Amino acid sequence: MDFSRVELSDDEQKFQDELRSFLSEIVTEDVIRRDRETGDNFDEGVHLALGAAGYLERDWKVGSERAFTRVERRIWELEKRRAHVPWVTSGTTAMIAKSVEKFGSPELKAEVLPRVYSGHVRMCLGYTEPEGGSDVATCKTRAVRDGDQWIINGSKMFTTGAHNCQYVFLITNTDPSAPKHKSLTMFLVPLATPGIEIQGIRTVDGDRTNIVYYSDVRIDDRYRLGEVNGGWSVVREPLNAEHGDVAAADDGLADVSIMMHQAMFMAHAVDKAAEKSAIPDPQGRRLIDDGAVAYRLGRSVARLEASLSAPSIFGRVALAQTMRDISPDLMDVLGTASALPVGTDGSADDGAAEYIYRFAPLVGIYGGTLEVFRNMIAQYVLGLGKPSYR
């Protein structure tokens, strides 16, 4: 692993300057405020602007002549984060586009992918069901064949971004009598199909997600991805990517683990608390001069740094657990005014610690809970065998 600073060539520097200035034009205060109000974590204007400028195609189109180089891709990822580009729906779209490219028919690819690159088509993940999401293979949403079509019935919980998307990457059960990993079929279902109802849910941190009902939803077979009852091999790759179970990049030009985006909110809250605790009050006293504050702040910084350096699946656990553990400490250190949320007059740190306090439980749930990840580490990394719940 090479930890040295990357020297940018003139072209790379130009790319960074242009991208930074473009993002500062399109990600306005209004975009940030609206995103906070809706909890959407998506802005159509920003997404379409990125599509029109060719960035989405350069990022996502496999084998494209203009595809980002490794360094450009790293700059692209870091600059988007720096500018607070809403990220959730573009993340799911990117992940699903890879599966459409790999498993879709030529006809489906032609229908979907060019509009993905222009930003007009977005896609969301339809895995979790109301009765459970940790084991996605225990899917109860049924798809039944009817000639050249399929009829889908069931419901999916937490389909984040569905209301801003055109297609859902849907796991269905096509053979309830088969062993669970041989009972699944994947579809890319157009969300405008009759019989689909999307209902919004707001989470404790203000994010918007959805429950989606499927009642006699009829779609053509061309929306199928992969083999009938072969859905597990379609969904395994994006699931692994979401779990952070991907190889580390030797050149250092990638995040060390997934959820770095979420981690940046934590780093921001720690920075804000450190800044605030060094400001003297009218009597000249600083919070940091209190030994208890210095200890708790120091411990938070150390925990943050350790979690930022933990790779792959370990990083996934370390980041979410650290956010849960240090957010109450940061709020205690800052006092009661830290309970006021972002944008409120009198807030200790413009709501930074309060936000991660509400955000932390979710970071340890979506894409797989911390308990499930700990079991995966125990089973696959430490070789402790499959847990027995009897």
For ligand FAD, the binding residues (CB under 6 A) are 124-128, 132-134, 158-160, 203, 207, 209, 362, 365-369, 371-372, 375
Report, in Å, the least distance between residue 344 CB and ligand FAD: 23
Shortest distance, position 35 Cβ to ligand FAD, whole Å:
15
- The answer to whether residues 156 and 212 touch, using CB atoms and an 8 Å cutoff, is yes
Nearer to ligand FAD, 231 or 367 (CB): 367
| Residue 212 Cβ vs ligand FAD, minimum distance, rounded to whole Å | 10
CB of 271 to ligand FAD, least distance (A): 25
Asked if residue 142 lies in contact with residue 155, where contact means CB atoms within 8 angstroms, the answer is no
Structure-derived torsion over alpha carbons of residues 260, 79, 242, 244, reported in degrees to the nearest 10: -50
Tell me the closest approach of the beta carbon of residue 125 to ligand FAD, in angstroms: 4
- How many Å from the N-terminal Cα to the C-terminal Cα in the chain? 43
Q: Which is nearer to ligand FAD, 55 or 127 (CB)?
A: 127
User: Whose Cβ is closer to ligand FAD: residue 43's or residue 207's?
Assistant: 207
C-alpha span between 145 and 153 (Å, rounded): 12
Q: Residue 187 CB, nearest distance to ligand FAD (Å)? A: 14
- φ, ψ dihedrals at 385, nearest 5°: 85, 170
CA pseudo-torsion sign 198, 199, 203, 207: positive
User: Which C-beta is closer to ligand FAD: that of 125 or that of 189?
Assistant: 125
Choose among 275, 151, 154: nearest CA to 218: 151
Q: Which residue is nearest to ligand FAD, using beta carbons?
A: 133
Nearest approach, Cβ of residue 247 and ligand FAD (Å): 23
Nearer to ligand FAD, 193 or 369 (CB): 369
Place of tokens 């979790």: 128
**Residue labelled with tokens 């990457």:** 169
- Looking only at the bridges linking them, the beta strands covering 167-173 and 123-126 are parallel
State which residue, 137 or 264, has the beta carbon closest to ligand FAD: 137
Non-local (6+) Cβ contacts of 171 within 8 A are: 126, 127, 136, 139, 141, 184, 186, 231, 235
Minimum CB distance to ligand FAD smaller for 105 or for 203: 203
CB 187 within 8 A of CB 231: no
C-beta separation of 97 from 116 below 8 A: yes
Q: By C-beta, is 160 or 312 nearer to ligand FAD?
A: 160
Closest contact distance (angstroms) between CB of 191 and ligand FAD is 13
Q: Are strands 142-146 and 123-126 parallel, antiparallel or unpaired?
A: unpaired
